[in-house]
Amino acid sequence: VWVNDYHLMLLPAMIRERLPNANIGFFLHVPFPSSEVFRCLHVRKQILQGLLGANLIGFQTYSFARHFLQTCTRVLRVETTPASVELDDHSVQVGIFPIGKWASTDGRAKIVSVLKERYTGKKIIVSRDKLDYVKGVRQKLIGFEKFLALYPEWRGKASNAAMAARGCAYIYTLNAQVSDVVSRINSRYGTIAYQPVVYLRQDIAFEHYLGLLTAADAFMITSIREGMNLTSHEFVCCQAAKRSPLIISEFAGTYGSFGAAIRINPWDYKEMAEAIHEALIMDEEERTIRWQELYRHVTTNTAQYWVESFIGEVNRTHCDFKRRRSMRMPQVTDGRLRTEYVMAKQRLIFLDYDGTLAPFRKTPNVSSPLPKCSEKLLARLTADPNNHVFIVSGRTATDLQEIFVNVANVSLCAENGCFMRLRGESQWKCLLPEESEDNVWRVKIREIFGYYTERTPGSFIEEKQAAIVWHYRAAENPQYGAWQAAECQNHLQDSLGSVLPVHVLAGNKTIEVLPSAASDANIVQRALAICLDAELVVAIGSSRAFEDIFEYLDNLQQQQQRTSMENSGAIAAES
């Protein structure tokens, strides 16, 4: 199911409610506003939750996708990556798919010859916009007026053919403003033989429009805010012979893909005037180089390519979605678990500490005794020599040693997969590669966490050997603490991105920054290498970091199933 544009933002979640396993893609054709603007909406959460019903959400540009991810973090307080929104049981992928277009250039020869005859010895700057405030029609004309004022040598030699198609309900006011500018320019710089601005307040035949694009000496797009302006693609396709420059606003989504165009800020009239002058005096060699780069992009990123790439990514994402959904295993009955436990000769058991063996505490950096019920359970499990029990925690090695001082025969894993101490041993082993021990990043993280600690009473920073954690469980105002946590997480992702070798983990009332190589999956790898004869693996946990263990085991199980099927097929072929 492919849902398109802002009118249907609520639809993906509605479809998901009716069809839980549906393959849903959503594409937004317009810009997504910054979080500062979007969070002013009183239905902000409902809109975001509606979008997150999709498997894949597509945007025209990187900046629109970034705005969406930041808004999800700030408004919904969910964990995000540069390419996804991480929810409790699955992730929603976010992609960039700049839309394309291929314009037919037939039927334009006659109008081109007419235009050449009419504008002999003159340069034509062409533009075509919907009469809407966001298209920057008025700004474009003022920029052209500035051009004639700064470069008097072009008076009588350059004309602006501006076409404005029908627009929104308020076009009458805007049309009056635009018409005033047109009249001012024509009365100031026009003569009986020269009309600086030809303003067409009407739709024209498509072949006439293509003829104007072909005859143009420059094409100008001055959008104040826009998704993907496809008139630029049409212009490039029509310029195979003349190869005139494209002038484009930095606020148009197309600009991110058209690096060879002349960039302008439509609010800077002097810059627009200079851009027009640059376009009109550009030599043929540079025009050719720029056009070839633009044409290569237009012919590569066509509408067909856009459709195929989006649908292909939706299908790939849906396969991952189904795989993750399959990880939500049905409830294990007591009888089944008992049977498999008894039948297995060697067992690996992974247990999460905080939230599973012990409740979360407001001051997690202060060690507290292990609950009696958990201590008795561990004693029974470790009494069986066929069980190898691993306690997995985000706590430090020192904390775990103090907590489990009275529990023998357990392996301890500290700081979410960074350190491990096997049962019967006294030394801790670091599971991180040597390059991960570079702690230059800690200074930057400490500064950011310090900023939010000062502004969130009750919160504090915990410094571990490999990680840094900001705790806001004890915040005096829990709601404000959660809001600050969302701001902090967004701040970290914006500041660090892929620059530093770390990743951000949003836990239960915590935000933790760890080396990028840190993962609870490291523990499972080491454990399976040690216990090669394990016939049963049990993992029980509730923390976000523990998800790495579930995912690793699920991938391992699927790999074993594929190998088994391949071996069965090979045996059948031989027989």
Q: Which domains occur in the chain, in start order? A: 2-97 (3.40.50.2000), 109-304 (3.40.50.2000), 334-432+519-569 (3.40.50.1000), 436-515 (3.30.70.1020)
Q: What is the pLDDT of residue 168?
A: 55
Distance CA 232, CA 256 (A): 13
Distance CA 158, CA 283 (A): 17
What is the average per-residue pLDDT within 338-361? Answer: 87
Distance CA 506, CA 80 (A): 9
Cα torsion angle, 486, 489, 492, 493, sign:
negative
What is the average per-residue pLDDT within 464-489? Answer: 87
Higher pLDDT, residue 301 or 287: 287
- Please report which confidence band the pLDDT of residue 568 belongs to, taking 50, 70 and 90 as the band edges: low
Distance CA 21, CA 321 (A): 9
Whether the pLDDT of residue 193 is over 80: the answer is: yes
Whether the pLDDT of residue 169 is over 60: the answer is: no
Distance CA 144, CA 277 (A): 10
Distance CA 574, CA 25 (A): 44
Q: What is the pLDDT of residue 120?
A: 76
Higher pLDDT, residue 569 or 424: 424
Q: Mean pLDDT: which of 234-248, 359-373, 513-527 is highest?
A: 234-248
What is the average per-residue pLDDT within 293-297? Answer: 90
Q: How does 49-60 read in b/e, with b if 16+ C-beta sit within 10 Å?
A: bbbbbbbbbbbb
Q: Mean pLDDT: which of 206-220, 281-295, 462-476, 488-502 is highest?
A: 281-295
Mean pLDDT taken over the chain: 85
Q: What is the pLDDT of residue 440?
A: 77
Distance CA 42, CA 53 (A): 20
Q: Mean pLDDT: which of 38-47, 196-205, 325-334, 349-358 is highest?
A: 38-47
Helix (H, G, I), strand (E, B) or coil at 159: strand
Distance CA 39, CA 55 (A): 23
Q: Looking at residue 72, what DSSP letter applies?
A: I
Q: What is the pLDDT of residue 259?
A: 84
| CB distance 180 to 141 below 8 Å | no
Q: How many CA atoms lie within 13 A of 403 on its CB side?
A: 29
Q: Mean pLDDT: which of 160-164, 469-473, 544-548 is highest?
A: 469-473
- What are the pLDDT digits (tens) for 89-134? 788 999 999 888 765 555 556 667 777 777 777 899 999 888 888 8
Q: What is the pLDDT of residue 363?
A: 65
| CB distance 267 to 146 below 8 Å | no
Q: What is the pLDDT of residue 366?
A: 55
| CB distance 205 to 108 below 8 Å | no
Cα torsion angle, 185, 186, 187, 193, sign:
positive
Helix (H, G, I), strand (E, B) or coil at 7: helix
Whether the pLDDT of residue 181 is over 90: the answer is: yes
What is the average per-residue pLDDT within 464-473? Answer: 90
The pair phi, psi for residue 134, each rounded to 5°, is: -70, -15
Q: What is the pLDDT of residue 187?
A: 93
What is the average per-residue pLDDT within 188-214? Answer: 85
